Amino acid sequence: MPRTVRARSASHDACARCNAAQSVRGVRVGRTFSVSTRWRLHTKEMNEELLGSLKVNQGRLMEDIHHTCQWGTGQRWGEKPTETGMSRLALSDADKEARDWFVKTTEALGCQTTIDAMGNTFAVRPGLRNDKPPTFVGSHLDTQPTGGRYDGILGVTAGVEMLKVLADNWVETEYPVGVVNWTNEEGARFPISMVASGVWAGSIPLETAHNLREVRGPATMASELSRIGYLGSTPSSHTSIPMGAHFELHIEQGPLLELANKKIGVVTGVQAYKWLTVTVKGRDTHTGTTDLKSRADALLTASKMVLHSHKLATANNALASTGIINAFPGSTNTVPGEVSFSLDIRAPQDETVARLYQMVRNDFAKIAAGHDVLACNASCTPGLPCSVSITEDFDSPATTFHSDCVSAVSTAAHAVLGSGAHNQVMQMTSGAGHDSVYASKRCPTSMIFVPCREGVSHNPAEFCKEEDCALGAQVLLQSVLRFDRLRDERRVSWKQEPYTL
């Protein structure tokens, strides 16, 4: 059912000051926020020593990560209780359990939680100037069907840990700060990635998202949001829920940090990509009575296209992948008459993706017609021609993050790592899309990467060391606090930028 949950009133908190020491998984909560007569710390008054004194609790962070992974536990890859992957598809029953945990935990820390029409859940901790949009930490709790424990989950739980650290130390921020859990970031169940942040940013129509049908089944996003009770009444829009900034902590999902022996990646942007659906039509015929030259084999033709996409990507310093193949009619003794497959193409520059897309369109048509684009060995028996159609399902242009957010992350990383920071921090571009892509269209944004073992992600064995999780969360905490101070210093100049601050 639709819901908007309101925090306790300031007057209630003020009256309950003497009872403020409650416990949420071992954390003292019950803040009185700006009505308190005396705060221990205020961000505007913090020097480097005071900023450095605010410490993430590594054990508590890891406890939250693994606690939430009881919902949607996936394939086992090791012997320890936590050595399993995750299979928590968006808007499933397991996703609802994780969402309920997020709402309950953040509300107990004194936050106001709001659920919008896409199920995006925003938890906001008041600051001194509550007439301005919060500085948000954001990521997602949904996973791939055979995903791991850190992709998205680390970012949300690190945001919750930030709230706990602020509560522990009675820190008052100049502006409100919040944590957002974005819906269906993965695009695994409902095949548009970052769809809910895209609706919030105004880049994807709400109707398109609500009518999006699950990959294998009849459910739509709207029906499942309603079923699990997360179809909020608040419009999913940056005008209804504006952000002052958006920071996201994430595992790198690639090997660069580990190979370079770096601890923190300061993310300056995200590479461009397109998702395509390619449909090849031939003729389904009997496998035992139809000779090779008389076949219009849609699957054989599609396989040539998949191989050629890899060659094109290699030649253009880009990436190409096929993750879904559907063959019809799906019988062992019938030559497939129709095949559809996904094609994901990526590159750092928009121009490269556009060029690769055009090459795909041109060359796939030639392959379907029977031309020897692949320089097939002479022993290959040519068959009858097929037809091909290509649909562009999703387009994400290259993204450049806001320099002030990037600077806040970089400064925080160097402060946290100290004298060895110059050897442990690197600037980088994200190879994967994230909700920060859409957030950056409406507010200053940046990301923080931490290394994952062998660069493996979207896999049950996805792994990030506990100390690296905590280090990333520490940089996230400091980035938000430093940005909170910077917002006040820079608010005049920001009025000239296309953000609502």
The series of mean pLDDT values per 10 residues for the chain, 501 residues long, is: 38 34 36 49 87 95 98 97 97 98 98 98 96 97 98 98 96 96 97 95 97 95 98 98 98 96 96 95 97 97 97 96 96 98 95 98 97 67 94 91 96 93 92 93 97 97 98 98 89 48 46
Residue extent(s) of CATH 3.40.630.10 domains in the chain: 4-271+398-490
CATH number of 272-396: 3.30.70.360
In the block, residue with structure tokens 């507010």: 443
User: Alpha-carbon torsion 139, 425, 469, 150, what sign?
Assistant: positive
Whole-number Å distance between alpha carbons of 23 and 55? 19
Q: Where are the beta strands (DSSP E) in 353-475?
A: 387-396, 399-400, 425-430, 445-450
**Which pLDDT score, from 0 to 100, does residue 402 have?**
96
**Which pLDDT score, from 0 to 100, does residue 39 have?**
52
**Which pLDDT score, from 0 to 100, does residue 1 have?**
38
Please give the backbone phi and psi of residue 165, each rounded to the nearest 5 degrees, phi first. -65, -40
Residue 141, C-beta contacts closer than 8 angstroms, at least 6 positions apart: 68, 88, 95, 98, 99, 102, 152, 153, 156, 181
Fold of the domain built from segment(s) 4-271+398-490: Aminopeptidase (3.40.630)
Helix axes 403-417, 466-494, angle to 10 degrees: 140
Which burial class, exposed, middle or buried, applies to 98 when counting CB atoms under 10 A from its CB (0-12, 13-18, 19+)?
buried
Q: Which helix (H) or strand (E) holds 4?
A: strand 4-5
pTM above 0.85, yes or no: no
Q: CA torsion 471→475→481→485, rounded to 10°? A: 150
**Which pLDDT score, from 0 to 100, does residue 4 have?**
42
Residue extent(s) of CATH 3.30.70.360 domains in the chain: 272-396
